[in-house]
Amino acid sequence: MVADRTGDNFFNFRFPEKEGFLYGFNLYALVSGNDVLLFDSAFRTQVTKVKKHLASEGLKLTHVVLTHFHNDHAAGLVSLKGDLTVLGSPEYRKTLKKNIPQTVTPVSFQSGYTFGDFKLGFTAAPGHSPCSIFIDINGRYLHAGDNLMGRYDGTAILPWVEFDQLENHISSLKMLRAMGRDRVLLSHGPELSGRKNINRAIDDRLSYLETVLDTGGKCSFEEAVSGCSCSFTGKEFFHDLLSR
Ligand SMILES: [Fe+2]
């Protein structure tokens, strides 16, 4: 794990892919006094390392905000205490598979959430999962969860989505594009920065998803990605999409 502390109050914990795995993890955290708010827990292995690192700096994990509740984002909650404040989409029950010891507090899309000097804003972004959300952090960063995914080195990963959620995923990506953000955080892969770069990353996903939708899934992988400027890894997600 690489732990970067940017400024005084912002952490980026990076976990490269384990051998044979498609993706690693990027976990971000905010600090207020001695308290820490973490975005996503990942699995037990990752969150345990994060906790240990925080403890070594005299800090305590008090909050976890979930971008969505797939296991690779939420399973680590099982190893954390019940008194932790856990926040996520009001739709979390549709996705959460684990019995977690915490109570999930649904986020408010109207009023957001304040953590020390940080003001978080939430927007529903269904598609990748019914409970996916965009999280605005002080108007500076936009955490897009798995709406866009990359490998540790930044290689684009094909979107993961079920066929009946294609339209939702497309709508959420169009909404993200319309937000016009300059710094987008991902749960897998490095931060995307620069409007042009971000738009290109979104457009590549849109081209793929719209081709699959428009052809009713009757296209080859090569046809599905023919309009994309990047070369995607994660071809298995194309087969997952068509087999459901
Ligand atoms: Fe994920």
- Show me where the domains of the chain are located: 2-243
Q: State yes or no: pLDDT of 142 exceeds 80.
A: yes
Using one digit for the tens of pLDDT, what is the confidence trace for 12-31? 999 999 988 999 999 999 99
Using one digit for the tens of pLDDT, what is the confidence trace for 49-80? 999 999 999 999 999 999 999 999 999 999 99
Residue 123 is predicted with a pLDDT of: 98
Q: Phi and psi (nearest 5°) for 133?
A: -135, 155
Query: Cα of 24 to ligand 1 centre, how many Å?
Result: 9
Strands of the chain (E only): list them. 2-6, 10-15, 25-32, 35-39, 60-65, 85-88, 104-106, 113-115, 118-124, 133-137, 141-143, 149-150, 156-157, 183-185, 192-193
Q: DSSP code of 76?
A: G
Residue 148 is predicted with a pLDDT of: 98
Question: What single-letter amino acid sits at 2?
Answer: V
What is the distance between the alpha carbons of residues 169 and 128, in angstroms, rounded to a whole number?
Answer: 6
Query: Cα of 129 to ligand 1 centre, how many Å?
Result: 10
Using one digit for the tens of pLDDT, what is the confidence trace for 185-213? 999 999 999 999 999 999 999 999 999 99
Query: Cα of 199 to ligand 1 centre, how many Å?
Result: 21
Mean pLDDT of 89-97: 96
Enumerate the H helices of the chain as residue ranges: 44-56, 71-74, 166-179, 195-214, 221-224, 236-243
Residue 178 is predicted with a pLDDT of: 98
Query: Cα of 217 to ligand 1 centre, how many Å?
Result: 23
Share of the chain above pLDDT 90, in %: 94
Q: Is 157 helix (H, G, I), strand (E, B) or coil?
A: strand
Rg (CA), the chain: 17
Share of the chain above pLDDT 70, in %: 100
Query: Cα of 70 to ligand 1 centre, how many Å?
Result: 7
What is the distance between the alpha carbons of residues 218 and 115, in angstroms, rounded to a whole number?
Answer: 47
Query: Cα of 69 to ligand 1 centre, how many Å?
Result: 9
Query: Cα of 6 to ligand 1 centre, how many Å?
Result: 24
pLDDT class of 244 with cuts at 50, 70, 90:
low
Q: State yes or no: pLDDT of 6 exceeds 90.
A: no
What is the distance between the alpha carbons of residues 139 and 156, in angstroms, rounded to a whole number?
Answer: 25
Exposed / middle / buried, residue 120 (Cβ in 10 Å: 0-12, 13-18, 19+): buried
Tell me how far CA of residue 148 lies from CA of 58, 89, 182, 187, in angstroms.
33, 18, 14, 9
The class level of CATH for 2-243 reads alpha beta
50, two tokens: 């994060």
Residue 8 is predicted with a pLDDT of: 76
What is the distance between the alpha carbons of residues 76 and 40, in angstroms, rounded to a whole number?
Answer: 9
Question: What single-letter amino acid sits at 210?
Answer: E
Rounded to two decimals, the pTM is: 0.97
Query: Cα of 145 to ligand 1 centre, how many Å?
Result: 7
Residue 243 is predicted with a pLDDT of: 84
pLDDT class of 166 with cuts at 50, 70, 90:
very high
Average pLDDT along the chain: 96
pLDDT class of 158 with cuts at 50, 70, 90:
very high
Query: Cα of 185 to ligand 1 centre, how many Å?
Result: 13
Mean pLDDT of 3-19: 91
pLDDT class of 7 with cuts at 50, 70, 90:
confident
